[in-house]
Amino acid sequence: MSHPDLDLLNHDLDVIFIGFNPSLYSAEVMHHYASKSNRFWRILSHAGITDRLYSPNEDFKLLEKGFGFTNIVDRPTKSAAEITAEEYREGKKVLLNKLMFYQPKIACFVGKGVYLSYSGKQKADWGLQPDSVAPGVMEFTAPSSSGLVRMKQNEIVDIYKSLANLIKEKQSFI
């Protein structure tokens, strides 16, 4: 069971948020970051990326605001640890094609592991990456919003605030 139909994508978005894969619950309700333990929507609001706190069932409303959603792997799982190396290899190709096709200004990887799987790099710092795999797309690495992540929420929000600043910079050039 895979869910590529969970994608919310359009051309020329400011940001496409890229997760590992849908949780079982997100796949069931067909909305991104839907688990009650996931802090994604609060983080976006606290970082000033969104104008208010959105709920997962409003994810489609963010397309109009320049934000899209996809995952490196489409298959829903209970945990990202269940994703196979083959799924990551295939997912990397599919994701690169999506980024090349839709050409967002910024690809935001929600989890360092997502970025490392996509880029093939061994390590990366948080924030804007010095070189992009997808030509013409800035690549930004942010912490996962999963409730399992041990970073404090204010530290995560600070990293997302730098994404908010980058979005504002890119919008001012339009």
Contact 47, 108 (CB under 8 A): no
| Whether 21 is catalytic | yes
Q: Which of 3, 10, 11, 21 is catalytic?
A: 21
Please enumerate in sequence order all residues whose Cβ is within 8 A of that of 5, keeping only pairs 6 or more positions apart, or say none.
Answer: 30
- What distance in Å separates the CA atoms of residue 127 and residue 139, rounded to the nearest whole number? 8
Sign, CA dihedral 49-37-28-5, equals positive
- What distance in Å separates the CA atoms of residue 155 and residue 58, rounded to the nearest whole number? 25
Q: Which of 32, 38, 46, 71 is catalytic?
A: 32
| Whether 32 is catalytic | yes
Active site residues: 21, 32
